[in-house]
Amino acid sequence: MSQAPVIAVLLGGTSSEREVSLGSGRACALALARSFPTCQFDVTSDAAPAALDRTRHVVFSALHGGFGENGGMQAALEQAGIAYAGCGVAASALTIDKARTKAAVAAAGVRVAPGLSFSATAKPAAAAIAAQIAGPWVLKPNDQGSSVGLYLLDTTAALDAALRDLPAGQWLIERRVLGRELSVGILHGKAMGVVEIRPKSGVYDFTSKYTKGLTEYLAPAPLGDALTRTVQAAAETAFAACDCRDYGRVDFMLSAQNEAFFLEINPLPGMKETSLLPMSARCAGLDFTALVREMVRPALQRFHTAAAVLRPRKNPRIKLPTRAPGGKFPSRSAPARCRARAGSVLRCPR
């Protein structure tokens, strides 16, 4: 227990966002290795890597979507007694569900756009939706990230066509708020800089998000001090309402009337140096290395707290092992472990 813990970066995963996660994980591992012994685990199944050791590892997850983000991996880590950075099981399960997150955030007083969720196997008719929610609309999967499966719909006919060909799963449809898209990084419960996202196509979809040159980012967003503080306060309220911890990202649409409408909380956001959370952190004076160091700090504290509880107390009545013939104590084989050190990143066994 006396050795410095190794930061185990989880990356890859089994969701549709695997390639995004690989990029995030590698960038974070390199940055973390400047301060801590660090290793990487390429996750290829919906389970915690078997080689993780609660007495040696603190997990920093760069997994996106699916099991890595919906509380599944978090539950597996907790069951194994392994300290990890980021939101806990309940908050992860909540924030992956956009409809439930909206309800929690709205109950805390944060403005949300009108909407409804439904299953593709029990979808309402386009006319029924139009009667309840005025268009235009945005239709998206209820539990996917990275703008996967996004539909922007202006007419009832377009809505009807989208519903006819809707893939299986849970869906969320909302009144589309036309305006400026904003993103706020949260660290230790406090909002950092507000970033404005200006896709050249007018739509911040998967292509605009991950293709260089297709989106302009303004960090900090040119909102003025009063509006900036209003958006930051809404982000902090939403984060707390969902019982999130450590870090995350909260996204909004700002209407022409300067009203901020909550979009979603991302508890495991993209983490390349050019991603939105690092942009927000730079507005607060944190470079990428300093940011990831701060992101993992609460998990390190949880690790050391657990280690103190598990550490055996001194007891003079403990029976010492007897010497074997030849004067040596019997040896025990040690389990395989990551022998990482600060300044390098190891690929750990699965």
pLDDT digits (tens, 9 = 90+) for 64-103: 999 999 999 999 999 999 999 999 999 999 999 999 999 9
Query: Could you say which of 15, 21, 142, 146 is catalytic?
Result: 146
pLDDT tens, residue by residue, 203-233: 776 777 777 788 899 999 999 999 999 999 9
pLDDT at 308: 86
Query: Could you say which of 15, 208, 266, 275 is catalytic?
Result: 266
pTM (two decimals): 0.87
249 given a catalytic annotation: yes
Average pLDDT over residues 136-160: 88
Query: Could you say which of 251, 275, 280, 282 is catalytic?
Result: 251
Report strand pairing: 179-187 vs 190-199: antiparallel
Domain spans of the chain? 6-86+289-309+337-347, 93-111+177-267, 115-175
Q: Which residue has the tokens 């999967």?
A: 141
Provide CB contacts within 8 A for 309, sequence distance 6+.
Answer: none
Residue 133's pLDDT band, with cuts at 50, 70 and 90, is very high
Please determine, for residue 172, whether its predicted confidence score (pLDDT) is greater than 90: yes
pLDDT at 204: 76
Query: Could you say which of 78, 149, 179, 210 is catalytic?
Result: 210
Q: How far apart are CA 59 and CA 7, in angstroms?
A: 6
258 given a catalytic annotation: no
Please determine, for residue 241, whether its predicted confidence score (pLDDT) is greater than 90: yes
Query: Could you say which of 249, 275, 280, 293 is catalytic?
Result: 249
Q: How many residues does the chain have?
A: 350
217 given a catalytic annotation: no
264 given a catalytic annotation: yes
pLDDT at 331: 44
Query: Could you say which of 84, 246, 264, 275 is catalytic?
Result: 264
Query: Could you say which of 12, 13, 17, 69 is catalytic?
Result: 17
Q: How far apart are CA 214 and CA 198, in angstroms?
A: 9
Q: 6-86+289-309+337-347, which class in CATH?
A: alpha beta
Check if the beta carbon of residue 73 is closer than 8 Å to that of residue 48: yes
pLDDT at 212: 77
Q: How far apart are CA 306 and CA 298, in angstroms?
A: 12
17 given a catalytic annotation: yes
Q: How far is CA 229 from the centre of its chain?
A: 23
Q: How far apart are CA 305 and CA 83, in angstroms?
A: 10
Q: Which residue has the tokens 């983000």?
A: 69
Tell me, which fold does domain 93-111+177-267 have in CATH? D-amino Acid Aminotransferase; Chain A, domain 1 (3.30.470)
Name the strand (E) or helix (H) holding 117: strand 115-119
Check if the beta carbon of residue 108 is closer than 8 Å to that of residue 235: no
Query: Could you say which of 270, 275, 280, 282 is catalytic?
Result: 270
- The CATH number given to 115-175 is 3.30.1490.20
